[in-house]
Structure 1
Amino acid sequence: MGDPAGISPELTARGVMDTDVRAAARLIVIGDARILDEGARVAGLALDTQTVRTETDALAAASGERPVLVDLGHLALEDVRRGEATLAGGTFATENFRRALAMAKAGTVEAVCFTPFNKAANRQAYPGYDDENRFVCDVIGWQGSAREFNVLESIWNARVTSHIPLSAVASTITKDLILHELELTGQCLRQAGIAKPRVAVAALNPHAGDGGNFGREEIEVIEPAVEAAKAKGFDVVGPYPADTVYLRAPKEGCHAVLTMYHDQGQIAMKLMGFDRGVTMLGGLPFPICTPAHGTAYDIAGKGIANIGATRAALLLAARMAERARVGADAAA
């Protein structure tokens, strides 16, 4: 369960009662029964879950058809200030996430999903909280690559840089970094079931630099990275101007667009499918998915939260977990 002051409790309740989700995965919810019950009340749902007190008990109960709630009993309703980022809310969300990550690290669950977090609240509970990638790596001790991907049904967005100032982007991107992100993108697309990924690369500068008139990053950094990727056997096209890359990519059969910075892809993806978009943390030992939208404090408690992106996140995580299991069984 994510931030309790927004739409996360409502989305959690809707998610665990969704027919498609329940058919795709055995669900364990980490949170507080009082908060989940409030989410169900807001959503107008009658919950059908089994409540336990520990993760060990949850694993024993998860063989059944009903979702299992691990009730940590760590947040009373009167301590939730709806529509506000608070220490109590951040403590609730980060503890739930930490417990879920520990289960995944131990191999007792195969994927992790979370309903939306509020970074300001999480930062109050965990100083230095930059984003979910940072928190995950800290908690599970991961030293490898980790990157956010945004996913719609027909197209993914990958990024070379993410949560850094725009002023630092040009000096951060390098040929090796772009090549690394292309390799990671291909890996994650294959894990999601796309056997032969094709990736379009966005330029950094207007009109892809216009032959060097508007910047030389395309000539000196991005194009060499694309050629190096092709030499390694990757199916890569570009760099294309960022204002047309999302128009060209589907026409050229691309499964993903690699953008140079956060908003270059995020704006396009949210315009194309705000209520369906998923954020997937890739490069980690197990899939982690969440709806790509935020906590929507402005509509919290109104019972109108759209389940689309949460459903898509849960189904993507289940699909990736299933493929990983099948792959492991085949290799055994």
Structure 2
Amino acid sequence: MNAKPVLGILLGDSTGVGPEIVAKTAASGFLSEHCRPILIGDNRIFENALRMVNAAAPHYTISETSEADWSKGIPVLDQKDQDPAEIEIGKINADCGKAVNRMIRLACRLCQEGAIEGFVFAPFNKSAMIEGGCSFESEHHLMASIFGVTGPFGEINVLGDLMTTRTTSHIPISAVSESLSVERILRAILLSYQTVKNTGVEHPVLGVAALNPHCGENGRCGREELDIIGPAIEKAREMGMDAQGPFSADILFIKAFRGDFHSVVTMYHDQGQIALKLKGFDQGITVAGGQPYPIVTCAHGTAYDIAGKGVVHTSAFENAVKMAAKMAVHKYANS
């Protein structure tokens, strides 16, 4: 394998900032510096995005990945399924959601065929995907279905060298406690552990969050730490994972950001998201944990408020490309 892996670069939802992000990173040379990119989407959307950001990037269209020749510029696997003239920027569009669904399925198939080693996708819009016919609640569930994933999977949020994994995600705070179990927490720990290992860390160290203030004060302020979280950590340690805690959430990320852990396992969505976004809102990325190939995206969404203005920052997407390339190289080296 060439030192630079072949990565699919998906343009994302055409109503948002995705195409502009890809255009900027292509024009700056960043994509070609870190991988051998194959853009996936409609070439007209890509060229329109180049005009939006007032940039140029050598590129050409291909109909099969075997036609890719990076000496000619960046190959675009042209889907010919979207006309920029028919798309209103900043407004949910079911046809754009359909195009995203096709991008995902194509990228997954190319991974399975060995044509690409992983992929990075610009922001999607889940509502558009569902309006466009996706029967899954998220792209992660769609990809898991395509790949036949049977183990734990889900979003892994990353900032710098620190990962976070959620035990529960998009549920009301009132439902968090009743949704916790030893098995569910253990799955989150296992997912976190394996995802860190997939980046090349031989012995991951994980910090696990408590649910209640002061770790429940030995049962005086809640028993989840004693009855559920602690036993899950103990089982993880019995399985050979270096899981530590539970730690009160108000000190856990102080320890994490100073380098005590490779990853943090949180009990609910905002427990980790607030810390990461406060620390580096424009830098965060999301790894598709539990999938059999490196799949990464920026942690922000379609940003309709600035879409079409050419002002979007690319640092998070750049971090996503670097992470996907790192994971692809590690996967190849250990295959």
Using the size of structure 1 for normalisation, the TM-score is 0.93
Letter in 2 for 1:232: M
Structure 1, gaps ≥5 residues long: none
Note the C-alpha offset of 1:62: 4.3
Correspondence list, 1:66-215, <5 A: 66-215=73-222
CA contact (8 A) 1:83 1:297 kept: yes
- CA distance in 1 between partners of 2:97 and 2:263 (Å): 33
- CA deviation vs aligned residue, 1:156-206 (integer Å, no higher than 9, x gap): 111112233433322222112222222221211111122221111111122
Match of 2:41 in 1: 31
Match of 1:49 in 2: 59
- CA distance in 2 between partners of 1:105 and 1:43 (Å): 34
- CA distance in 2 between partners of 1:35 and 1:263 (Å): 34
Deviation larger for 32-41 or 160-169: 160-169
Answering whether residue 239 of structure 2 is matched by residue 229 of structure 1, we say no
- CA deviation vs aligned residue, 1:242-275 (integer Å, no higher than 9, x gap): 2221112234621111001122111211111111
CA contact (8 A) 1:152 1:276 kept: yes
Note the C-alpha offset of 1:98: 1.5
Match of 1:289 in 2: 296
Letter in 2 for 1:206: P
Could you tell me the percent identity over the aligned residues? 37
Number of residue pairs aligned between Structure 1 and Structure 2: 325
Using the size of structure 2 for normalisation, the TM-score is 0.92
- CA distance in 1 between partners of 2:191 and 2:227 (Å): 22
Match of 1:40 in 2: 50
Answering whether residue 315 of structure 2 is matched by residue 305 of structure 1, we say no
Answering whether residue 19 of structure 2 is matched by residue 9 of structure 1, we say yes
CA distance 1:142–1:231, shift in 2 (3 Å): closer
Deviation larger for 226-235 or 282-291: 226-235
- CA deviation vs aligned residue, 1:277-305 (integer Å, no higher than 9, x gap): 11000111101100000110000111110
Letter in 2 for 1:202: A
- CA deviation vs aligned residue, 1:49-73 (integer Å, no higher than 9, x gap): 1211x2x2x2331464632101111
SS of equivalent residue, structure 2 residue 297: strand
- CA distance in 1 between partners of 2:174 and 2:112 (Å): 36
- CA deviation vs aligned residue, 1:129-149 (integer Å, no higher than 9, x gap): 311211112333333321210
- CA distance in 2 between partners of 1:203 and 1:109 (Å): 40
SS of equivalent residue, structure 1 residue 99: helix
Letter in 2 for 1:273: G
- CA distance in 1 between partners of 2:202 and 2:37 (Å): 28
SS of equivalent residue, structure 1 residue 50: strand
Runs of 4+ in 1 over 6 A off after TM superposition: none
- CA distance in 1 between partners of 2:34 and 2:282 (Å): 20
Note the C-alpha offset of 1:122: 1.0
CA contact (8 A) 1:119 1:129 kept: no
Deviation larger for 232-241 or 150-159: 232-241
Structure 2, gaps ≥5 residues long: 1-10
Letter in 1 for 2:191: L
